[in-house]
C-alpha cells in the first residue's frame, strides 16, 4: 500500500530573536482577554503557497499573516500565489528550483529581515508588504499569547513538531511522555500563524487550511512566538483595548537602528 508523503515543514528553530518583548508593553492592570476570538473565514482560500512540496513554511506563514491582516481590516486582500512564495523562498534562502537539494528550509531571522527591508510581493496586485519590527511573545503564557492574537491578528509560531502530528486533523498530544515519535522536533520545525482561539484551543493556518491545536499540544511543542508591527501600526497611540501601551511600544521601535517606514495601504 502506498502512503501519501507528509506535507513539508522547513523552519530552522532558534534562528530569530525579536528585539522587543510584548510583556514589556502590556499595562500593569490589563483587561481580561475575551473568552474567544474567531477570525475564521470559510469563504477565503488560503492556498498551500508551495508548502506541500517545499520547505517554505516560514514564507507561507508570513504571507498568510498579511492576508489575515487585510481580512480582519476588511480591506482588499493581496492573495499570494505559489509563485510568489517560491520567489520569496529563493530570495531569502537561496533555494534553486533546478537543485532540489537546495530546499533546506528557512532561517527565520533572515526571513524577518527580508520582510522588514525588502518586503513580500504579491503579483496579483503588484503590492509590496513590509513590517517595522517583530515583538517576542512568551510561548508558555496562555494569556500573553491570546492577548497577542486579540491585538495583532496573527501570532506567528515556531513549533517543534513530533512525528505523531503527521496525519492528524487536529493537533493533540498522543503520548504524554513526549518520547519517541512524540518527542518535540522528531518531525521538524514548522512555522504557522495563529488567528483564533477559544477556551481549549487555537486555530492556526497551515498547508492551506485551518487546523485546530489544543492547549496541551501548544504547551508541549511551541518553541517560539512573535507578532509583527506593520508600518501602518506606527501611527497608533494610547492604550489599546487589549492593554497594549502603544505610545511606549512605538517610542521603543523608533529607537531601533533599522525601522522601515514605507507605507502600504491597509497592511494591518
Give the residue carrying C-alpha cell 509560531: 157
User: pLDDT at residue 94 above 60?
Assistant: yes
User: Which pLDDT score is estimated for 11?
Assistant: 98
Task: Tell me the sheet residues that pair with 134.
Answer: 228
Mean pLDDT of 214-222: 97
Does the pLDDT value for residue 82 go beyond 80?
A: yes
Taking 60 as the threshold, does the pLDDT of residue 163 lie above it?
yes
* The pLDDT of residue 83: 98
Mean pLDDT of 193-201: 97
Sign of CA dihedral 80, 82, 85, 91: negative
- What is the per-residue pLDDT for 259? 53
* Domains in the chain: boundaries: 11-253
Q: Are strands 209-214 and 170-171 parallel, antiparallel or unpaired?
A: parallel
- The pair phi, psi for residue 18, each rounded to 5°, is -60, 150
Distance (Å, rounded) from C-alpha 29 to C-alpha 37? 21
Task: Round to whole Å and give the CA distance between 237 and 82.
Answer: 36
pLDDT digit string (tens) for 16-62? 999 999 999 999 999 999 999 999 998 999 999 999 999 999 999 99
pLDDT, position 3:
52
Q: What is the mean pLDDT of residues 80-109?
A: 97
- Is the domain spanning 11-253 CATH 3.40.50.720? The answer is no
Q: Region of 47 please: left (phi>0), alpha (psi -120 to 50) or beta.
A: left
Amino acid at each position: 500500500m502506498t502512503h501519501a508523503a507528509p506535507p513539508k515543514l522547513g523552519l530552522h528553530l532558534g534562528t530569530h530573536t525579536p528585539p522587543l518583548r510584548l510583556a514589556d508593553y502590556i499595562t500593569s492592570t490589563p483587561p481580561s482577554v475575551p473568552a474567544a476570538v474567531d477570525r475564521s473565514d470559510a469563504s477565503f482560500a488560503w492556498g498551500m503557497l508551495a508548502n506541500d512540496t517545499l520547505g517554505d513554511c516560514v514564507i507561507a506563514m508570513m504571507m498568510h499573516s498579511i492576508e489575515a491582516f487585510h481580512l480582519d481590516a476588511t480591506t482588499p486582500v493581496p492573495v499570494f500565489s505559489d509563485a510568489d512564495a517560491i520567489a520569496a523562498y529563493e530570495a531569502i534562502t537561496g533555494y534553486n528550483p533546478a537543485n532540489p537539494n537546495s530546499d533546506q528550509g528557512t532561517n527565520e531571522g533572515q526571513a524577518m529581515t527580508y520582510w522588514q527591508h525588502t518586503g513580500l510581493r504579491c503579483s496579483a496586485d503588484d503590492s509590496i508588504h513590509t513590517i517595522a519590527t517583530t515583538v517576542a511573545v512568551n510561548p508558555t503564557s496562555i494569556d500573553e499569547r491570546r492577548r497577542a492574537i486579540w491585538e495583532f491578528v496573527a501570532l506567528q509560531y515556531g513549533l517543534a513538531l513530533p512525528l505523531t502530528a503527521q496525519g492528524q486533523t487536529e493537533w493533540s498530544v498522543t503520548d504524554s511522555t513526549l518520547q519517541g515519535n512524540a518527542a518535540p522536533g522528531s518531525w521538524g520545525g514548522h512555522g504557522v500563524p495563529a488567528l483564533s482561539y477559544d477556551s481549549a484551543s487555537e486555530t492556526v493556518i497551515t498547508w492551506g487550511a485551518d487546523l485546530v491545536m489544543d492547549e496541551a499540544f501548544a504547551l508541549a511543542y511551541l518553541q517560539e512566538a512573535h507578532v509583527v508591527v506593520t508600518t501602518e501600526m506606527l501611527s497608533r497611540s494610547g492604550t489599546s483595548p487589549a492593554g497594549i501601551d502603544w505610545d511606549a511600544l512605538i517610542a521603543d521601535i523608533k529607537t531601533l537602528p533599522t525601522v522601515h517606514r514605507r507605507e502600504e495601504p491597509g497592511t494591518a
